[in-house]
Amino acid sequence: MPPIDLRSDTVTHPTPEMRRAMAEAEVGDDVFGDDPTVTALEARAAEITGMQAGLFVASGTMGNLVSLIAHVPRGGEVIAEAESHTLMDEQAGHAVIVGASARGIPARPDGTMDPALVHAAFRDPLDIHEPQTALVVLENTHAHSMGQPLTPAYTAEIAAIAHGHGVPLHIDGARLFNAAIALGVSAAQLVAPADSATFCLSKGLACPVGSVVVGSAGFVARARRARKLVGGGMRQVGILAAAGLVALRDGPAGMIERLAEDHVNARRLAEALAAMPGIADLDPARATTNFVVFRVVAANPGSAAASLRPRALRGRFLEALRAEGVLMVEYPHDTIRAVTHYGVDADDIERVIAACRSALAACGAASVPATPVA
């Protein structure tokens, strides 16, 4: 039996419908603007997000990078959440390629940054010593807070601060549609206050490759130039865009509505895990999208597991879990992440729960104290 892979929603395979659409896609050279399937995907992405234009890119990382290039001059500064993917997990592309510095603001438990801190992070444009703030970035859903969705009201508040300083707002919406489903709002409402956004097709929406950048026509024209600069101009790429067009269909024919199922599965997993001895720092009420993040600790302070470093215990748990046919992944601060997604159903989640119980016992985290011999 193949493992139940909860390391990420990036492991999803395309649906049979996507494979059919890919095989039959009408294509052309997209650098010449000749690929009708890419053009249709970009138009659909713009429509569904309420933006003027879209740009198909190879990945979420490329989407954020070309957005930064399009918004930020060399020597500019980006304000973003301190542990955001843009600052932490994209090889510092903002510094290496864009030539920008960054100001990281800590996240609160709900994934938001304190607006007062965002406001205070802006540089003084009249001070010759300082770089000039050029962009604010939000991440929705916010990954490191266990995938919390950011509301349109919060986004509008941050946009107002950015715009008040004459600076644009970009949203890293790698999981934008998870946020929309969780909050019961449209993707367009989530990005309306922003100047640009990236969303990923290759995560919960189950496409094999790709993300889309959306924004004004002028911004997308600059991002298109930036995409060519970083080697992202692709040719008969309608083959990949075709899957995106399937994913973005309305209703049950597409892949957006079904994200609700992933959220239910994440909540069920979180509730079951939170009740197990050996699982810590998990409030199941916070499982509102498709992430479950937790720590493994020794339930019995007198056990051998209690003498292990948190990382070592985590390693043993993940190994034991793998032996049970379930994959999860290390996450920052000694935590573990499980991500629910297309291809993992409610029955699989019950298997995962049983596997976690066994793995906690196998790694010693849930061991009971030795019964004293009378």
Binding residues for ligand TLP, per CB under 6 A? 8, 10, 59-61, 85, 89, 139, 143, 172, 174, 200, 202, 211
Residue 70 and residue 100: Cα distance in Å, rounded?
Answer: 12
Residue 112 near residue 152, CB atoms below 8 Å? no
Distance CA 265, CA 261 (A): 6
In the complex with ligand TLP, which residue's Cβ is closer, 93 or 278? 93
Nearer to ligand TLP by C-beta: 8 or 12? 8
287, two tokens: 């499982």
User: What letters, b where the CB count within 10 A reaches 16 and e where it falls short, cover 312-324?
Assistant: ebbebbbebbeeb
Residue 89 CB, shortest distance to ligand TLP, in Å, is: 5
First to last CA, the chain: 45
Closest to ligand TLP by CB, 64 vs 303, is 64
Shortest reach from residue 174's CB to ligand TLP, in Å: 3
Nearest residue relative to ligand TLP (C-beta):
60
- Nearest distance in Å: CB 61, ligand TLP: 3
Phi-psi region of 127 (alpha: psi -120 to 50; beta: other; left: phi over 0): beta
Q: How far is the CB of 209 from ligand TLP (least distance, A)?
A: 9
**Of 132 and 202, which CB lies nearer to ligand TLP in the complex structure?**
202
Q: How far apart are CA 312 and CA 13, in angstroms?
A: 32
CB of 310 to ligand TLP, least distance (A): 20
- β-strand partners of 294: 336
Q: Which two tokens stand for residue 166?
A: 């004459």
Whichever of 170 and 222 has its CB closer to ligand TLP, that residue is 170
Question: Residue 135 or residue 365: which is nearer to ligand TLP going by CB?
Answer: 135
User: Closest distance between ligand TLP and the C-beta of residue 202, in Å?
Assistant: 6
